[in-house]
Amino acid sequence: MKLSAFQCPICMSTHCRQEGDVFICESCGNSYTQKQADSQMFIDLRIANRHRQFAEFSKARDIYVDIINKYEDEDLSSAYWGILLCDQSVLLEMDNSGQLFPSFYRVKNVPIQETDAYLNLIKYVKKNAPEKMDDYIDRINLIESARDKAVVISQTTKPYDVFICFKKTQLNSDVVAPDYDVANEIYNELSDKYKIFYSEKSLRNVRVRDFEPNIYYGLYTAKVMLLICSKREFLESHWMKNEWKRFMELNKDRDSDYKSIIPIFIDNFKEENLPDELAHKQALKYGISLIADIDKTLQKIINPIDKDLEQQKQIDMLMANQKKLIEEWTKRQSETIEYSKSDAAQVLTPQEEKLRSILKLAKVNLEDLGNFEAAELQIQKAQEIDAENYVTWAYKLLIEFRAQSIDELVMHDNFKDSVNYRLFVKYATKAGKLDDIQKLEHARDDLMHTMADKVNYQLKSLDVSPNPMEEDILKIKSMYESLPKEAQQYVENLKTIIISARKKMRDNKIDSFKARLNLVSNKEHPNYDDILKIEEEYSNLSEDEKDLAGEGYKNVIKDVNTKMKDMKAQKVQNLLQTLDNQDVPTRDDLIHVEKMYNELDDKMKAQVSNYRQIMVKAYDRKYRNDAKMLSKYFTKLPTEKVPSRDIYKKLENRFNALPAKYRPLVQNMNLLDDYYNRLLEYEEGNVAPKKPLIKPEPIKEKEAPKKKRWLW
């Protein structure tokens, strides 16, 4: 026995061992040869399993059901097992020590043993694969144990507010990553104020086998996940991705509260490095104010405040301290366009001082509070003082598109068509503020690059994928078509990569068809379903694909038909042998053999040996037995108290059905004559008398044989 790099085609695990020509998966317990792993059913199982690993349980379940309907002659226990896992929304993972544990996306309230999926699985395995029963029962008990533990934890543990998701060590190394230090700092600073799930603390006194129920409870109850981001590889690592992906899936449950994911960028991590599922999340950057920023954000989510009341309080405070704010005003660090005087030492006139105060208040309403109506009123007052001030037109542009910053503004494709934008450019140019105009242009260009980079990343993944799918191409096309024209110019090699992907798809389709041909060709006992599957797959090929696939499939179908004919001739031969060994063959058996023999062509009939001799002997034994049974029936006629014409007719018909050669073998015919006389007496002469059967004379031993037309 040795470990193998072979990947299980059912559960995609690489924990496989090889024993001779057989591969055994340590994760799912299935065993198979390389030939089986290349079959179409296993290909379909891999596709279903891929959807299940991505938490697309509904899609995976539909494919499992289709497999059960399509491959009735194959071992379908894996498909029934997949349906059960989909219904339970659970994955079976293997930890570093090789132990299996369940990873829940939902914890169901109903025990597995009470579900239809469980009953169907047990019924099928018990009938078709009893050797796998103990393994499946052990796995179900493992899931049930974890489910029960999760229920107990939910009843005895206070819900969490925050879940910290991080990577403790570097990939393929025990070196501690900087993510661990940041996560530890956040926990130490905020654990007194919020209930935080932090694995280093929350799982310290928990047994390893109870990790999953505790992790699930943390994911299920936490309203916020703090996702520590230093490298994309960390976010895509198995266990970290498992946590944030499950957290997102739980957010889709309508019964749960709204959940938020807040990425924490450290080590110059950039937004474009986020996975697509997280690309829209608002992130926080690591710095001196990180803890304060997290606390402020958590308060809004976990302890939401009355926004209108808070907004009014801030406006009142700003109005009361207006003079103080003017005196202490300093240039704020913001990407939004700032209003400033070219000469800071210049003495402001009352009008200019009033203008600055109004613009400052408008900025607070716009950037901090998002109160566009109040900001618009302030800008109107400012323009009454100075209608050519470029800052007022910049703010009017933001208000028009309901944007609180430049980053939000440049997301609108048509902002340059606005009258407010043209007036901003006009008066900013007049005031010599070209940098502010360029800031807008650069922000827009950066956004276009960012949007295009997401498509480029998907294209790169498509280009290196060995098994691209049509849905991947359609997704990329949809993303590309949704881009502004400015961003589309930054997408690289779109047509080339899609053409290459379609070529791979075509080649894979042809390879799959050839694999099907090879599979059927090597079958010892093919059937008509195999031919139908080949013809169906061939019909699904395009004309170009058919040319590349060649005409080999016709030869395979021809060989299969030949095998099936040989099998049919052999079956007739086996049935003849069975007839020959029977003491008393039945009429149905004889007719069945005759029918199958007559369906053979002359060439196939020639392969069946001793057909006439065996059938003659079989019919002889049958007729002799019929004569014997009739004699036995006649002996019972005197015991019938009430004679019946139906009984008489049946016995008469059975006697007439005997060939003349065997009628002399029937004994006790006089009893039938007596029975007929009794019948006439019973019917009191209402029925015309009928001459009873006359007992035939015995056959002479030296009588010359006569030609007989046999049933066949």
Q: Confidence class of residue 693 from pLDDT cuts 50, 70 and 90?
A: low
* Helices 528-539 and 552-581: angle between axes, nearest 10 degrees: 170
- Looking at per-residue confidence, does 121 or 564 come out higher? 121
Q: What is the pLDDT of residue 334?
A: 41
Beta carbons of 366 and 398 less than 8 angstroms apart: yes
CA distances from 291 to 177, 182, 298, 302 (A): 20, 10, 10, 16
Strands (E), 119-211: 162-165, 196-197
Beta carbons of 439 and 406 less than 8 angstroms apart: yes
CA–CA dist 403, 398 (Å, integer): 5
CA–CA dist 288, 189 (Å, integer): 13
* Helices 77-88 and 133-156: angle between axes, nearest 10 degrees: 0
Q: What is the pLDDT of residue 329?
A: 44
The predicted model gives 349-378 an average pLDDT of 82
Task: Convert the pLDDT of each residue in 43-74 to its tens digit.
Answer: 888 888 888 877 778 888 888 888 888 887 78
Q: Confidence class of residue 646 from pLDDT cuts 50, 70 and 90?
A: confident
Query: Does the pLDDT at position 386 exceed 80?
Result: yes
Strand 162-165 relative to strand 196-197: parallel, antiparallel, unpaired? parallel
Task: Convert the pLDDT of each residue in 486-540 to its tens digit.
Answer: 788 888 888 888 888 888 888 887 887 778 778 777 776 776 677 777 777 777 7
Tokens at 657, concatenated: 């059905």
Centre a 10 Å sphere on the Cβ of residue 452 and count the other Cβ atoms it contains: 21
The predicted model gives 242-246 an average pLDDT of 87
* Range in 354-358, 412-416, 610-614, 641-645 with the lowest mean pLDDT: 412-416
Name the segment(s) of the chain with CATH classification 3.40.50.10140: 162-302
Vertex 78: Cα angle to 214 and 2 (nearest 5): 85
CA distances from 160 to 191, 202, 203, 207, 259 (A): 11, 11, 14, 20, 12
Task: Convert the pLDDT of each residue in 270-292 to its tens digit.
Answer: 888 898 888 888 889 888 888 88
Q: Which element (helix H / strand E) includes 265?
A: strand 260-265
CA–CA dist 564, 558 (Å, integer): 10
CA–CA dist 262, 640 (Å, integer): 96
Q: Please list the residues that pair with 227 across neighbouring strands.
A: 165, 263
Q: What is the pLDDT of residue 331?
A: 42
Phi, psi dihedrals of residue 4, rounded to the nearest 5°:
-130, 155
Smallest CA-to-CA distance from 459 within 496, 503, 485, 484 is with: 496
pTM (two decimals): 0.39
* Helices 390-400 and 350-363: angle between axes, nearest 10 degrees: 20
For the chain, the farthest-separated pair of C-alpha atoms sits apart, in whole angstroms, at 151
Q: What percent of the chain has pLDDT over 90?
A: 5
CA–CA dist 49, 36 (Å, integer): 17
Q: Please list the residues that pair with 102 across neighbouring strands.
A: 92
Q: In the block, which residue shows the tokens 């618009």?
A: 376
- Residue type for position 220: Y
**Up-side HSE of residue 370: CA atoms within 13 Å toward CB?**
6
Computed over its alpha carbons, how large is the radius of gyration of the chain?
A: 43
Q: Confidence class of residue 226 from pLDDT cuts 50, 70 and 90?
A: very high
Q: Please list the residues that pair with 23 across neighbouring strands.
A: 18, 32
Query: Does the pLDDT at position 245 exceed 50?
Result: yes
Provide long-range contacts, Cβ within 8 A and 24+ apart, for 440-444: 440/406, 440/409, 440/410, 443/335, 443/406, 443/407, 443/409, 443/410, 444/410, 444/486
Query: Does the pLDDT at position 148 exceed 70?
Result: yes
Q: In the block, which residue shows the tokens 């009017």?
A: 396
Assigned fold of 162-302: Rossmann fold (3.40.50)
Q: Which element (helix H / strand E) includes 264?
A: strand 260-265
